[in-house]
């Protein structure tokens, strides 16, 4: 842990040092490729609960996750003075999970007790500032021990002539591969049987976003998205216990569509308060319906310091195939005891602060901003979690 902290600190200082040697490039719309900003987001997440899907809806859900994501944004202008932005991002998560550890018989020592996820991505945006349009292409990968994902997509945005309205059309695809690690009891060769095999899971989504400046203090955004998934959509190591106490691995349909509709608004109240609201309606083909409502307030205590208390409420109904431990009939075609797909409400509340000093954080002129945020999460089906995140932005003054 100490080594990770020192490495992250070293990384920050290294980038600050790199910036301090950069030449002044304040020339208006310099066409040279230059670093616009570097962002580093670090998070620590910890949860506990008593409905582990790996153990069929009972057992510990203790889990911790350390996440670090760094991105580098490069900008240049072409001959037609169109702005090109390149964003290279790299993410690394380390997590340990008590429930995943129960896939095998030897708890606390099995291969699944912890894992590392690596997820680099690349994005290119070409923006014609005069015509108010932009084109974005992006690609990403994500690799875990038992899961690989390749994603790519494109987005096109057009602003209205008065720059008060913008419409964005986006399409993306994720081509995933799941390694079929079954619970140890269901592997023909027992714990040493590593002929897992694999299956595909593909997700395709399309979205339309409309943002609108309503007046001098209010702006709104509406998003309609449609997602189609196909392939192996369950998790192979999730156990399901039936009424007769026989056990099988979770089995879910091989297709699923999702329809999330989101509405977001931000309102400047007086001179020192910004209210931000979010509502989402969600429906999918497995019978899950959900509502999400969130409110965040930014209190500008000074021109450079803001406090951001927030609260989020979430409610979902269970998928048609969910039943708790030992409640499924053996005659059912599809079944899961994963409480993430069950019926519950959740509350997520916390506080953050944002500090953007004129001369840089701690007087380091390229350290443009620091934001810290803490949240506590509770779910009505006995799961709670805490998360703390920090965002550091390095930018030319």
Partner 1 sequence: MKIRLIVAVIGLVSYVSGCTTVKEYQKNRINDAEMDLSTRKVQKTELSFQSYREGASGANGGKTGGGCGCN
* Residue 163 contacts partner 1 per CB under 8 A: yes
Say how far apart CA 292 and CA 189 lie, in whole Å: 45
- Contact pick of 123, 136, 292, 337 for partner 1 (by CB under 8 A): 292
To the nearest whole angstrom, how small is the minimum distance from the Cβ of residue 329 to partner 1?
Answer: 22
Q: For residue 191, what are the CA distances in angstroms to 101, 115, 275, 330?
A: 13, 18, 54, 26
Say how far apart CA 318 and CA 389 lie, in whole Å: 30
To the nearest whole angstrom, how small is the minimum distance from the Cβ of residue 165 to partner 1?
Answer: 8
Binding track over 66-95 against partner 1, x by CB under 8 A: -x-x-------------------------x
Say how far apart CA 99 and CA 276 lie, in whole Å: 36
Say how far apart CA 377 and CA 266 lie, in whole Å: 24
Binding track over 111-140 against partner 1, x by CB under 8 A: ----x------------------------x
- Contact pick of 60, 97, 123, 157 for partner 1 (by CB under 8 A): 97
To the nearest whole angstrom, how small is the minimum distance from the Cβ of residue 221 to partner 1?
Answer: 4
Task: For residue 203, list its beta bridge partners.
Answer: 174, 229
Task: For residue 182, list its beta bridge partners.
Answer: none
Strands 310-316 and 165-179: unpaired
Q: Which stretch binds partner 1 (CB under 8 A): 60-68, 131-139, 186-194, 240-248?
A: 60-68
Look-up: residue for tokens 């039936």?
242
- Contact pick of 35, 41, 247, 295 for partner 1 (by CB under 8 A): 41
Q: Which stretch binds partner 1 (CB under 8 A): 73-81, 129-137, 182-190, 283-291?
A: 283-291
- Contact pick of 90, 274, 326, 349 for partner 1 (by CB under 8 A): 274
Reading the block at residue 314, the tokens are 């979430």
For partner 1, the closer CB: 72 or 246: 72
**H-type helices in the chain, by residue range?**
2-20
What's CA 252's distance to the chain center, in Å? 24
- Contact pick of 88, 126, 135, 290 for partner 1 (by CB under 8 A): 290
- Contact pick of 17, 25, 164, 200 for partner 1 (by CB under 8 A): 164
The number of CA neighbours under 13 Å toward the Cβ of 31 is: 5
For partner 1, the closer CB: 36 or 284: 284
DSSP class of residue 22 equals: S
Binding track over 333-352 against partner 1, x by CB under 8 A: -------xx----x-x---x
Q: Cα dihedral sign for 359, 9, 386, 266?
A: positive
To the nearest whole angstrom, how small is the minimum distance from the Cβ of residue 316 to partner 1?
Answer: 5
* 186-225 residues near partner 1, rule: CB under 8 A: 202-205, 207, 210-217, 219-225
For partner 1, the closer CB: 31 or 293: 293
Q: Is 301 left (phi over 0), alpha (psi -120 to 50) or beta?
A: alpha
Look-up: residue for tokens 């409610």?
315
The number of CA neighbours under 13 Å toward the Cβ of 319 is: 21
To the nearest whole angstrom, how small is the minimum distance from the Cβ of residue 59 to partner 1?
Answer: 13
* Residue 18 contacts partner 1 per CB under 8 A: no
* Residue 60 contacts partner 1 per CB under 8 A: no
* 237-266 residues near partner 1, rule: CB under 8 A: 237, 258, 260-266
To the nearest whole angstrom, how small is the minimum distance from the Cβ of residue 16 to partner 1?
Answer: 18
Q: Which stretch binds partner 1 (CB under 8 A): 8-16, 191-199, 326-334, 387-395?
A: 387-395
* Residue 36 contacts partner 1 per CB under 8 A: no
Q: SS3 helix, strand, coil % of the chain, rounded to 5?
A: 10, 60, 30
* Residue 38 contacts partner 1 per CB under 8 A: no
Say how far apart CA 146 and CA 120 lie, in whole Å: 17
Q: Which stretch binds partner 1 (CB under 8 A): 7-15, 128-136, 325-333, 370-378?
A: 370-378
Total residues contacting partner 1 by CB under 8 A comes to 98
DSSP class of residue 23 equals: P
Q: Is 270 left (phi over 0), alpha (psi -120 to 50) or beta?
A: left
* Residue 316 contacts partner 1 per CB under 8 A: yes
* Geometric angle at alpha carbon 197, from 193 and 202, rounded to 5°: 150
């Amino acid at each position: 842990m100490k080594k990770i902290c020192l490495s992250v600190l070293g990384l920050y200082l290294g980038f600050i040092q790199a910036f301090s040697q950069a030449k002044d490039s304040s020339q208006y719309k310099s066409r040279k490729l230059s670093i616009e900003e570097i962002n580093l987001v670090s998070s620590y997440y910890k949860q506990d609960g008593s409905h582990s899907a790996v153990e069929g809806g009972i057992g510990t859900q203790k889990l911790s996750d350390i996440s670090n994501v760094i991105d580098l944004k490069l900008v240049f202008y072409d001959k037609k003075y169109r702005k090109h932005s390149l964003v290279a991002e790299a993410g690394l998560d380390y997590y340990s999970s008590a429930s995943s550890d129960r896939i095998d018989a030897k708890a606390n020592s099995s291969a699944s007790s912890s894992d590392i996820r690596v997820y680099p991505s690349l994005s290119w945006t070409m923006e014609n500032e005069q015509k108010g349009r932009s084109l974005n292409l992006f690609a990403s990968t994500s690799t875990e021990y038992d899961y690989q994902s390749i994603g790519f997509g494109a987005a096109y945005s057009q602003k209205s002539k008065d720059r008060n309205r913008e419409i964005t059309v986006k399409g993306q695809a994720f081509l995933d591969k799941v390694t079929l690690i079954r619970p140890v009891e269901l592997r023909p060769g027992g714990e040493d049987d590593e002929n897992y095999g694999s299956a595909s899971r593909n997700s395709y989504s399309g979205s339309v976003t409309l943002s609108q400046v309503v007046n001098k203090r209010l702006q709104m955004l509406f998003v309609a998205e449609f997602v189609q998934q196909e392939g192996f959509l369950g998790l192979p190591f999730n156990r399901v216990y039936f009424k007769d106490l026989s056990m099988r691995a979770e089995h879910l349909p091989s297709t699923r569509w999702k329809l999330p509709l989101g509405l977001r608004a931000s309102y400047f109240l007086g001179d020192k308060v910004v209210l931000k609201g979010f509502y989402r309606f969600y429906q999918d083909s497995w019978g899950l319906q959900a509502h999400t409502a969130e409110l965040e307030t930014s209190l500008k205590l000074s021109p450079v310091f803001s406090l951001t208390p927030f609260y989020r409420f979430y409610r979902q109904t269970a998928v048609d195939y969910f039943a708790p431990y030992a409640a499924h009939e053996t005659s059912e075609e599809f079944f899961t005891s994963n409480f993430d797909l069950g019926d519950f409400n959740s509350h997520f509340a916390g506080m953050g602060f944002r500090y953007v000093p004129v001369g840089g954080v701690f007087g380091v002129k390229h350290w443009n901003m620091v934001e810290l945020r803490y949240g506590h999460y509770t779910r009505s089906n006995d799961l709670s979690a805490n998360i703390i995140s920090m965002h550091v932005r390095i930018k030319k003054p």
